[in-house]
Chain A
Amino acid sequence: MKITISSEPRLLHILRGVVRWRAEQSGFLSSDVESLALAIDEAVSNVIRHTYLSRPDGKVSLEIRSFSDRLEFVLEDSGPKVKREDIRPRSLDEVRPGGLGTLFINCFIDESFYEGERVEGNRLRMVKYLPGRAASSDEGAGQERG
C-alpha cells in the first residue's frame, strides 16, 4: 500500500487514518495504534516543515508494508538531503516550543533508518514490531503479507 500526498498539513489526517486502519488490521493494541499514528504524523510533519520549508507543492509518499511480525513504514520525499546529525530530539530539561516530534518518533518506533541510495530526496524506513515480537537481526525475517 502506497499513498502520495502533497506537502499540505491539512492532509495529515488522511495518513493518520490509513496508519490507524493498517495497524488495527495487523493486530496492534489500541494504544500502539495511536502511538504509531502519532509517530508517522510527526515524521511527515518534519518533512513538510524542515524539508519542504512548509511549501505545499512538494510530494510525500508513505508506503506501508505488512509482515507477519511487524509493519514497515517507508516515507519518501523529493526535497533536499537531510543531514542526519541535525535530527535529534531536544533536551527534556528545556521548556520551549518545538523539538518534540523526533522524541515521539524515537519513543514509538522500534527501528528507523535513513536509506541513502536515492540520488534525490530522502527515504526513511520505520519499523514497528507486533507485541511480543522481538526485533530480529535478520531484517528480512517475517513473511510479507502484501
Chain B
Amino acid sequence: MRVQVRSVDNVTIVDCAGEIDLYSSTRLREALLKALRSGIPSVLVNMEEVTYIDSSGIATLVEGLQLSQQTKTRLGLYGLRNNARSVLELARLHKVFNIFQHEQEALEKIPSTRPFEGP
C-alpha cells in the first residue's frame, strides 16, 4: 500500500493506493492523524486506488473522524470503489462521513461542510 500527502489550496489530500489491512493501515493512520493535527481546515482521503479495505482500515478512518471532531477539521473521503463503499455501508458509517464521487467535487464541496459533531 502507498500513502502520499499533497496540498491543494487549503486542503490536504491523503492519497492511498493498494490494499489497506492490519499491516498497512498503520501508514494511513500516521499520515491521516498528522494531517488532522496540522491545523489545516480540510482533509480529504483519496481512495480511488484503494482495492481492498478491512476493519482496521475502517477503524483508522473512524479514528480520523473522531480526531477531526476535536480539531474542528473537515474530513472527507472520495473515489470509493464498490468494495470500500459496501463495507462502510455494512458498518452503517457511510452516513457519518462526507463522501464525494471524485476529487473535483470533493474540493468544491468540502469547504462548505461542517466538521463532524458526533453521531
Distance, CA A3 to CA B52, complexed state (A): 22
> Is B63 close to A, CB under 8 A?
yes
> Is B39 close to A, CB under 8 A?
no
Known: A95-B118, A100-B59, A101-B55. A48 touches B22 (CB 8 A): yes
The stretch of B42-50, B71-79, B85-93, B101-109 that contacts the partner chain: B85-93
* Distance between B81 CB and nearest chain A CB, rounded to angstroms: 10
Could you tell me the dominant secondary structure of chain A's interface residues?
helix
Contact mask for chain B residues 60-74; partner A; CB cutoff 8 A; 1 contact, 0 none = 101101100000000
Beta-carbon contact of B59 and A41 below 8 Å: no
Q: For chain A residues 24-48, which have a beta carbon within 8 Å of chain B? A: 34, 37-38, 41-42, 45, 48
Distance, CA A8 to CA B52, complexed state (A): 19
- Residues of chain B contacted by A93 (CB below 8 angstroms): 119
> Is A53 close to B, CB under 8 A?
no
Beta-carbon contact of A98 and B59 below 8 Å: yes
- Complex: chain B residue closest to A107, CB-CB: B90
- Complex: chain B residue closest to A91, CB-CB: B92
- Residues of chain A contacted by B119 (CB below 8 angstroms): 93-95
Beta-carbon contact of A104 and B55 below 8 Å: yes
Q: For chain B residues 1-54, which have a beta carbon within 8 Å of chain A? A: 19, 21-23, 52, 54
The stretch of A9-17, A59-67, A73-81, A122-130 that contacts the partner chain: A9-17
- Residues of chain A contacted by B87 (CB below 8 angstroms): 38, 100, 104
> Is B113 close to A, CB under 8 A?
no
Contact mask for chain A residues 92-133; partner B; CB cutoff 8 A; 1 contact, 0 none = 111111111101100100000000000000000000000000
Distance, CA A140 to CA B92, complexed state (A): 36
> Is A55 close to B, CB under 8 A?
no
Distance, CA A41 to CA B83, complexed state (A): 14
- Residues of chain B contacted by A107 (CB below 8 angstroms): 90
* Those 9 A-B pairs whose CB atoms lie nearest each other, nearest first: A97-B59, A9-B23, A100-B55, A9-B22, A101-B55, A95-B119, A92-B92, A10-B23, A45-B22
Residues of A within 8 A of B (CB): 8-10, 12-13, 16, 34, 37-38, 41-42, 45, 48-49, 92-101, 103-104, 107
